[in-house]
């Protein structure tokens, strides 16, 4: 089963910067188990629209390309891990 975490962010977004180290930790801890994709919403508006992203940061978890979870805003690492369930 392919698990993907999509991160919608922007360089001017303070909560996005707060979450960056958390995402980096998750990427290291779950290397080989999940894929992390990061989209700057200013540069990837079409992708943000496709997923209905209205505010950032937004984290979307896909399993086999089906959305199984979504979190918006600063989110504790434990909550993201629970969402990923890998």
- Any catalytic annotation for residue 72? no
> What residues make up the domain containing 60?
3-84
Residues in contact with 72: Cβ distance below 8 Å, sequence separation at least 6, in sequence order: 55, 56, 57, 58, 59
Q: What is the number of structural domains in the chain? A: 1
What are the tens digits of pLDDT across the range 61-78? 999 999 999 999 999 999
Q: What is the CATH classification number for the domain harbouring 37?
A: 3.40.30.10
- Any catalytic annotation for residue 13? yes
Stated pTM of the model: 0.94
User: Of 16, 23, 34, 61, which one is the catalytic site residue?
Assistant: 16
pLDDT at 28: 95
User: Of 13, 30, 72, 81, which one is the catalytic site residue?
Assistant: 13
Residue length of the chain = 86
Average pLDDT over residues 52-61: 97
Q: What residue spans of the chain are helical by DSSP H? A: 14-29, 45-50, 77-84
pLDDT at 79: 95
**CA–CA gap between residue 49 and residue 17 (Å, rounded):** 22
């Amino acid at each position: 089963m392919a698990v993907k975490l999509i991160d919608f962010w922007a360089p001017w977004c303070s909560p996005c910067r707060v979450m960056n180290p958390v995402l980096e930790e998750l990427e290291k801890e779950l290397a080989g188990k999940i894929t992390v994709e990061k989209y700057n919403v200013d540069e990837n508006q079409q992708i943000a629209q496709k997923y209905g992203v209205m505010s950032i940061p937004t984290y979307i978890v896909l399993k086999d390309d089906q959305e199984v979870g979504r979190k918006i805003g600063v989110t504790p690492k434990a909550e993201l891990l629970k969402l990923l369930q890998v």
